[in-house]
Structure 1
Amino acid sequence: MESSRTACPALQADQLRHLVDAIQEFIVLKDGQGRWLVANQAVIDVHELHDIAYLGMTDLELGELRPQFRAIFEYNARTDEDAWRHGASLIIRKSFLGLDGRINTWEVVKTPHFDAQGQRHQLVIVSRNITDQQLAEDALRASEAKYRLIAENMSDIIGLLTADGKVDYVSPSIEHQLGYRSEMLLGRALVDYVHPLDSDPWAEALQALAQEGHSRHILECRLLTHRGWYRWYELTLTPTASAIAIAIAIANNNSWDQLLLSCRDITERKRYDEQLQALAYRDPLTNVANRRLLLERMGEVLQHATRSTKAFAVLYLDLDKFKPINDTHGHDIGDRLLIALAKRIDTLLRPIDLLARIGGDEFVVVLRDVSASQAEDAARRLCDALQQPWMLDDLSLRTTSSIGIALYPDHGDSVHALLLHADQALYSAKRSGRARIAFHGSESGFP
């Protein structure tokens, strides 16, 4: 028991050290003569003290060892004396080049402690980065006309959220972006304006911030405009709580006072991404799925069928004598016929089914959760529909289609096996004549 009691203070000191080093604010403890007793990792990193035995040294001595920071150390020594003379907590501000490459402004609180005889004992120094706050204060001190001009014409939306996700401030630019006057949103929960499909990522972001406390989170979601439609935005969420506030808030399961919100319109980028997606996954002529998307979706259907022990069917079809139509009437008519063919097939499919063009006049249909008889019925309806006339301007064409059918799991247990067997069944149907249906394994097709 004695040994465990003596180990506890060391363990507690080690834990306290890790906690102090985790704080991003500067923390320094000095004795009455200005010698350094404690400094957290943030101070060591900024002043490049990793290879220096800084404990027991004064700022002026450290300035000799790190001349690039001499002016800062000399300033520290002068303001330490100001705090001792003041006899109570002294708040000052200082600015210097930070590790992020920009001028950072820090609010420094220096609190002197005296012993029972009134002599200098220790000086506690806590520095907080208030660069963003300083920038905001500088903007407010600028002329009202200039500030209004900037705020009302900026493209991004800037705001502050309370701990429960309500709007505490939003820039006037929201009127240009979403059509709301900024005062209309004050006190409203921002989630009320988030698209329902994006509400879960929004909630997850807030939860992550509450758990991590100090980190920044970026997500993409749609926000509702006053006209009732949505626009895509990239949202950057940054906690603004101080280290002390974070420590208090963590105990209450919330780790930030306010949340700085920045919204950038990415609607055009999303539209461009959708166009790229269409080029990657859609047939450019008919706008149905291409081979790449077909293989991906068939893989998903195969996994679903394996888990649910349900069957599905793969139908392979083409237009009989498509080449003569192209040769006689030209490729423009041939392309228009393929577009019309895809539209007619699509009208006969369910929302859960998939139609893909895999080349030329060859199409594949994937029917989910069907039996052999249901697959046959669907193939018959397609065969009948594709024999009906095609009216392309003043030109009337008649065609037929043959269809090969492969069933999962009877005719294959992989995507490529099912496609191969459906293709082989198609040629069995063609050998029996036009406008015919054939299952894999059958020697001939049937009408």
Structure 2
Amino acid sequence: MVYDPPASSTAAQLRYLIDAVTEFIVLKDGEGRWLVANRAVIDTYELEGLDYIGMTDMELAAFRPHLIDAFRYNLKTDEQAWAHGKALTIYKSFELDGRLNTWEVVKTPSFTTQGARHQLVIVSRNITDRVEAEQELALKEQKYRLIAENMSDIVGTRRLDGTITYLSPSFEHQLGLALSEYIDRQIGSIIHPEDVRRLQRDLILPPENRELPTTRCRLRLASGTYRWFEISRSMTWFDDIEEYQIVFTCRDIQERVQYEQRLHRLAYEDALTGIPNRRQLLDDLGRRVQQESAFALLYLDIDHFKNINDRHGHDIGDALLTALANRLTEHLNIGDTVARIGGDEFVVVIADADHALAHAERLCHALQAPWHLENQIFHTTSSIGVALCPADSRRVHTLLNLADQALFNAKRQGRGCVCAYSDSRRT
């Protein structure tokens, strides 16, 4: 047996339901007369005790004149909904309890089969909290965008495949490149080829396990030159698109890098000649020994350099040292290095140990060619001592001492010649 509640009971239940709803619910007929209003409407429009059923908005306004503006707005937007012919969403704001409230109102008209106005269902939702939250978010976004668009650092986002999704205007200011050419495209083309692989290594692990360290790379400018930038990155989950993206900032550190390079030159390069100094030579020799490389170490100086320096002055002496460093550099092969370790003493490291003596002889001959310095011509010779690794020793300082001993023997043999430590040891 199916229970069929009486009509009066069903009406009471429906009344209870609409009164429990916090949204405004109003039903009007085709003439704009109020037929149903829930408790939220009755309380807001102060209709308690007033027989509002069958009244229009303007008739109700006569009883509540202080709400006339709200009734007039209702009437105006009702007509807009009827003209629209289907559900119309509008927004209205008014002060309630000392606070400006915003309402989202959906007015849905219905018509008879002949097309005449039948009824208008009005549902209004208070969206004040949502609007205030959106306004606060928009204000924050505006502030962040203002910062991003006016800061000198480049700010951007990119997908894990490298596709750029956002770039701040500073991209154009810093690099001179058009934003439109890189949004939704790969940015790898402006990264220096030597830096691309290092940046890609950071993206091997799954996104949730990645820690992206601050790094450096060179970015290409519109002029074709490169500048150093410091890159800060963070892996971020974007809820709206449901994917991980990398948020990054690029700060121009060209001046910092140039300063660091100057410090490096001061620490590892000879100030006069620009070639490696003793410190860099020792580092280089240390690496070669650790790699168990076979190489030759040539220790040389300029015969009678003190006489030239004393007779012609330090400017000529410095010019001679610089010219000698340049000539040595010109005669180096791939893998060879030259360093000035003090005064007129130089060390040449020859990677091809098997032909080191022949190379030393060629250098000795090349250093006998005239020097054209400040409109003068000078003739000098150089003595060269040779030590071999690993044949003579595997210890760096021992090799230097052995090559120095061989140089001393070359001078005893008359200068301007080559002497290997292994040969001097046998004599």
CA shift, 1:147, in A, is 6.5
200-209 or 159-168: which moved more?
200-209
- After TM superposition, the structure 1 = structure 2 runs for residues 160-175 of structure 1, keeping only pairs within 5 Å, are 160-175=157-172
CA shift, 1:420, in A, is 0.7
For residues 325 and 263 of structure 2, the distance between their equivalents in structure 1, rounded to whole angstroms, comes to 22
Change in 2 beyond 3 A, CA 1:280/1:392:
same
Amino acid at match of 2:420: F
For residues 212 and 334 of structure 1, the distance between their equivalents in structure 2, rounded to whole angstroms, comes to 61
Q: Which residue of 1 aligns with 2:176?
A: 179
For residues 393 and 209 of structure 1, the distance between their equivalents in structure 2, rounded to whole angstroms, comes to 65
- After TM superposition, the structure 1 = structure 2 runs for residues 328-339 of structure 1, keeping only pairs within 5 Å, are 328-339=311-322
Q: Which residue of 2 aligns with 1:442?
A: 423
> Is 1:221 aligned with 2:217?
yes
* Counterpart contact for 2:207–2:244, Cα < 8 Å: no
CA shift, 1:234, in A, is 0.8
Q: Secondary structure at the match of 2:228?
A: strand
CA shift, 1:301, in A, is 1.6
- After TM superposition, the structure 1 = structure 2 runs for residues 185-200 of structure 1, keeping only pairs within 5 Å, are 185-200=182-197
* Counterpart contact for 2:368–2:381, Cα < 8 Å: yes
Q: Which residue of 2 aligns with 1:284?
A: 271
For residues 135 and 236 of structure 2, the distance between their equivalents in structure 1, rounded to whole angstroms, comes to 13
Uncovered stretches (5+) of structure 2, i.e. residues with no partner: 1-126
Amino acid at match of 2:297: V
Q: Which residue of 2 aligns with 1:326?
A: 309
CA shift, 1:222, in A, is 0.9
Q: Which residue of 1 aligns with 2:37?
A: none
Aligned pairs, number: 299
> Is 1:395 aligned with 2:391?
no
CA RMSD after TM alignment:
3.0
Q: Which residue of 2 aligns with 1:314?
A: 297
* Counterpart contact for 2:218–2:229, Cα < 8 Å: yes
Q: Which residue of 1 aligns with 2:395?
A: 414
> Is 1:303 aligned with 2:304?
no
* Counterpart contact for 1:298–1:415, Cα < 8 Å: yes
> Is 1:262 aligned with 2:259?
no
Change in 2 beyond 3 A, CA 1:319/1:92:
farther
CA shift, 1:91, in A, is 12
For residues 273 and 134 of structure 1, the distance between their equivalents in structure 2, rounded to whole angstroms, comes to 47
> Is 1:379 aligned with 2:360?
yes
For residues 273 and 423 of structure 1, the distance between their equivalents in structure 2, rounded to whole angstroms, comes to 34
Change in 2 beyond 3 A, CA 1:293/1:91:
farther
For residues 279 and 355 of structure 1, the distance between their equivalents in structure 2, rounded to whole angstroms, comes to 17
- After TM superposition, the structure 1 = structure 2 runs for residues 43-58 of structure 1, keeping only pairs within 5 Å, are none
Change in 2 beyond 3 A, CA 1:444/1:206:
closer
1:280-328 Cα distance to aligned partner (Å, 9 max, x none): 1100000111111001111112233x2xxx6310000000000011100
For residues 209 and 163 of structure 1, the distance between their equivalents in structure 2, rounded to whole angstroms, comes to 10
Give 2:349's match in structure 1, choosing from 355, 363, 366.
Answer: 366
Change in 2 beyond 3 A, CA 1:291/1:363:
same
* Counterpart contact for 2:163–2:185, Cα < 8 Å: yes
Q: Which residue of 1 aligns with 2:325?
A: 342
Identity of aligned residues (%): 44
Q: Which residue of 1 aligns with 2:413?
A: 432
Amino acid at match of 1:157: I
Q: Secondary structure at the match of 1:349?
A: coil
Amino acid at match of 1:421: L
* Counterpart contact for 2:148–2:155, Cα < 8 Å: no
Change in 2 beyond 3 A, CA 1:409/1:135:
farther
CA shift, 1:436, in A, is 1.2
For residues 163 and 313 of structure 1, the distance between their equivalents in structure 2, rounded to whole angstroms, comes to 49
Q: Which residue of 1 aligns with 2:33?
A: none
Q: Secondary structure at the match of 2:202?
A: helix
> Is 1:272 aligned with 2:259?
yes
Moved over 4 A (4+): 90-93, 133-136, 139-142, 150-153
* Counterpart contact for 1:430–1:445, Cα < 8 Å: no
CA shift, 1:426, in A, is 0.2
For residues 268 and 128 of structure 2, the distance between their equivalents in structure 1, rounded to whole angstroms, comes to 61
TM-score normalised according to structure 1 size: 0.62
> Is 1:404 aligned with 2:401?
no
Q: Secondary structure at the match of 1:375?
A: helix
Change in 2 beyond 3 A, CA 1:267/1:413:
same
Uncovered stretches (5+) of structure 1, i.e. residues with no partner: 1-89, 94-106, 108-132, 250-255
CA shift, 1:140, in A, is 4.9
* Counterpart contact for 2:157–2:165, Cα < 8 Å: yes
Q: Which residue of 1 aligns with 2:87?
A: none
CA shift, 1:137, in A, is 3.2
Change in 2 beyond 3 A, CA 1:412/1:141:
closer
Amino acid at match of 1:438: C
Change in 2 beyond 3 A, CA 1:154/1:406:
same
Amino acid at match of 1:390: W
Amino acid at match of 2:376: L
* Counterpart contact for 1:429–1:445, Cα < 8 Å: no
Amino acid at match of 1:202: L
For residues 134 and 405 of structure 1, the distance between their equivalents in structure 2, rounded to whole angstroms, comes to 79
For residues 197 and 266 of structure 2, the distance between their equivalents in structure 1, rounded to whole angstroms, comes to 29
For residues 385 and 253 of structure 2, the distance between their equivalents in structure 1, rounded to whole angstroms, comes to 45
* Counterpart contact for 1:241–1:257, Cα < 8 Å: yes
* Counterpart contact for 1:428–1:445, Cα < 8 Å: no
For residues 211 and 182 of structure 1, the distance between their equivalents in structure 2, rounded to whole angstroms, comes to 29
Change in 2 beyond 3 A, CA 1:163/1:376:
closer
Change in 2 beyond 3 A, CA 1:262/1:151:
closer
* Counterpart contact for 1:424–1:440, Cα < 8 Å: yes
* Counterpart contact for 1:432–1:444, Cα < 8 Å: no
CA shift, 1:407, in A, is 0.9
